[in-house]
Amino acid sequence: MKLLEGKNVIITGASRGIGTGIAQVFADNGANVAFTYSSSEAPALELEKELSSKGVKAKAYKSNAGSFSESQELVAKVLEDFGGIDVLINNAGITKDNLLMRMSEEDFDKVIEINLKSVFNMTKAVQRTMLKQRKGSIINMSSVVGVKGNAGQANYAASKAGMIGFTKSIALELGSRNIRCNAVAPGFIETEMTAKLEDKVVQGWRDGIPLKRGGAPEDIANACLFFASDLSGYVTGQVLNVDGGMLT
Ligand code: NAP
């Protein structure tokens, strides 16, 4: 029996990087996967095909996680197409790095909207379904940067720290209905998001990691697999650092 056999999962932002890794690992474990993208239509449709070939139901949806109304519409469509939602993974995220001196109000607001408000939008949209089922698992993709801060990323760090407060609050609010809410805090994971950094910066990150390598999307997907499955049935309100020991 596969760990997520027959479970219906929504993942935001799975057209690339960590989200794609989660979608692949979840499909391998028997989950039906509904996932979103904002602009990368071609890779999203490619992923839809790849997941479907594994014998699970899979569908890509274009939806802006930062929009309250689009999140409501998305969840309604997924319910129509899949018949239920057992797991929500709030993974969509962006960076707009700059020192505070140069950070514009627009870049601060955008990062909070896409990274943090999206979590409110999507969690609120799935809440009714999970309450009715008296079961659900919500997983929020935070970051080590949300735990320890990072110069040049005040907007991003604030959004990721906010996700941790949100996670713990929802765990307290919905625990009595058997809905769990946990966060994963990835360290340095090698995706397009980190490919934007200079080589010198990337090497600096790798050198500072006790396991001496950047993580892969699968490393994060495996942590999500634990939180999504019944293996973590008695775990809620937690933040799991998946960072090669970076915060140790
Ligand atoms: P990525 O490669 O840049 O991929 C981001 C994904 O989010 C893409 O699928 C993108 O879709 C989607 N997205 C962006 N804006 C969106 C929106 N408004 N609505 C819906 N989807 C949207 O990033 P990643 O490295 O995989 O990161 C995934 C998550 O992990 C993020 O929350 C990030 O903050 C977090 N994280 C990453 C690292 C790391 O080292 N990589 C470390 C800690 C935490 P399009 O392709 O259509 O743009």
Per-residue model confidence as pLDDT tens for the chain (248 residues): 899 999 999 999 999 999 999 999 999 999 999 999 999 999 999 999 999 999 999 999 999 999 999 999 999 999 999 999 999 999 999 999 999 999 999 999 999 999 999 999 999 999 999 999 999 999 999 999 999 999 999 999 999 999 999 999 999 999 999 999 999 999 999 998 888 889 999 999 899 999 999 999 999 999 999 999 999 999 999 999 999 999 99
Q: How many A from CA of 1 to the centre of ligand 1?
A: 31
Residues with beta carbon inside 6 Å of ligand 1? 12-19, 36-40, 64-66, 91-94, 114, 141, 143, 186, 188-189, 191-194
The protein residue whose alpha carbon is closest to atom 3 in ligand 1 is: 193
- Based on its alpha-carbon atoms, the radius of gyration of the chain, rounded to whole angstroms, reads 17
Cα 152 from Cα 94, distance rounded (Å)? 14
Find the 193 Cα to ligand 1 centroid distance in Å: 7
What pTM did the predictor assign?
0.98
Helices (H), the chain: 17-28, 41-52, 68-82, 105-111, 118-133, 144-148, 154-174, 192-195, 199-207, 217-228
> Which residue has its alpha carbon closest to ligand 1 atom 46?
40
| Residues catalogued as catalytic | 156
Q: What DSSP string runs through 54-122?
A: TTS-EEEEE--TT-HHHHHHHHHHHHHHHS---EEEE---------GGG--HHHHHHHIIIIIIHHHHH
Q: What is the pLDDT of residue 52?
A: 98
Q: Which residues contact 49 (CB under 8 A, 6 or more apart)?
A: none
- Phi, psi (5° rounding) for residue 78? -65, -40
Closest CA to 44 of 54, 53, 34: 34
Residue whose CA lies nearest to ligand 1 atom number 33: 93
User: What class has domain 8-189+217-242?
Assistant: alpha beta
Measured from the Cα of 93, ligand 1's closest atom is 32
